Amino acid sequence: MAQWPDGKKRCIWANPGNPLYISYHDEEWGRPVHDDAVLFEMLILETFQAGLSWECVLNKRAAFREAFDHFDLEAVCAFDKTRIAQLMDNPAIIRNERKLAAAVGNARVFRAIRKEWGSFDAYLWHWTGKSVVHERGLTRSALSDAVARDLKARGMRFVGSVTIYAYLQAVGVIEAHEPDCFLAQELSGSGLNPAEPCRTGLN
């Protein structure tokens, strides 16, 4: 684990040379999110990570916000083929036509889940009974398998278990800061540990 100028130890994946990455690690990653607007933004961004690094996506986050109307759910749901074609001409974002089309479809599924559950927050956190799961060293789990399977059944794309696991980590459903990271103790409050059962839809 690298030594940092401020004396704090951070997770090994945090790039000390990228201020955006440091800010994301310190202020966002692993902190429980209950705001549907943030949950939507992070879900869309995570689906663009497939096959790429998160740092690549994070570096383009501001451009994605502008291109996706600041992740206004209704606006993204209304994107059509013409708008997707315009996005394909935007060099500041990740230009993958399948992912762009999936983002629009996923937005519509997200909206449908909000209508069914009252909020996407209620849907997402019901999988763990509103508890944070504390575990490290994994890239997928029974929980991410179940959530991914359900989202796919509802029509979402680019939401495999590995992508959803990363998403759950990002929005704090799973807390995975490394033991020596200065945030590990701060975020290790009440929740589920890996030995405890979580609600996966299978039990």
Q: Is the dihedral of CA 86, 89, 91, 93 positive or negative?
A: positive
Comparing CA positions, the residue from 72, 31, 78, 47 lying closest to residue 151 is 47
- Quote the pLDDT of residue 6: 83
126 in a known ligand binding site = no
- Quote the pLDDT of residue 181: 93
- Quote the pLDDT of residue 200: 39
Comparing CA positions, the residue from 21, 68, 7 lying closest to residue 170 is 21
Tens place of pLDDT per residue across the chain (203 aa) = 556 778 889 999 998 889 999 999 999 999 999 999 999 999 999 999 988 999 999 999 999 999 999 999 999 999 999 999 999 999 999 999 999 999 999 999 999 999 999 999 999 999 999 999 999 999 999 999 999 999 999 999 999 999 999 999 999 999 999 999 999 988 886 455 543 434 433 32
From 21, 29, 41, 46, active-site residue: 46
Active site residue 4: no
The pair phi, psi for residue 192, each rounded to 5°, is -95, 140
From 54, 55, 117, 178, active-site residue: 54
Rounded Cα distance between 132 and 135, Å, is 10
CB 135 within 8 A of CB 176: yes
From 21, 24, 29, 125, active-site residue: 24
- Quote the pLDDT of residue 185: 83
CB 67 within 8 A of CB 92: yes
CA angle 174, 124, 126 (to 5 degrees): 95
Bridge pairing between strands 133-134 and 174-175: parallel
Active site residue 24: yes
Q: What is the pTM of this model?
A: 0.91
- Quote the pLDDT of residue 195: 38
- Quote the pLDDT of residue 2: 58
177 in a known ligand binding site = yes
- 3-state SS string for the chain: CCCCCCCCCCCCCCCCCCHHHHHHHHHCCCCCCCCHHHHHHHHHHHHHHCCCCHHHHHHCHHHHHHHCHHHCHHHHHCCCHHHHHHHHCCCCCCCCHHHHHHHHHHHHHHHHHHHHHCCHHHHHHHCCCCCCEECCCCCCCHHHHHHHHHHHHCCCCCCCHHHHHHHHHHCCCEECCCCCCHHHHHCCCCCECCCCCCCCCCC
Q: Where are the domains of the chain?
A: 19-186
77 in a known ligand binding site = no
Homologous superfamily (CATH) of 19-186 is Hypothetical protein; domain 2 (1.10.340.30)
Active site residue 46: yes
- The torsion of the CA quartet 42, 161, 32, 104, rounded to 10 degrees, works out to 30
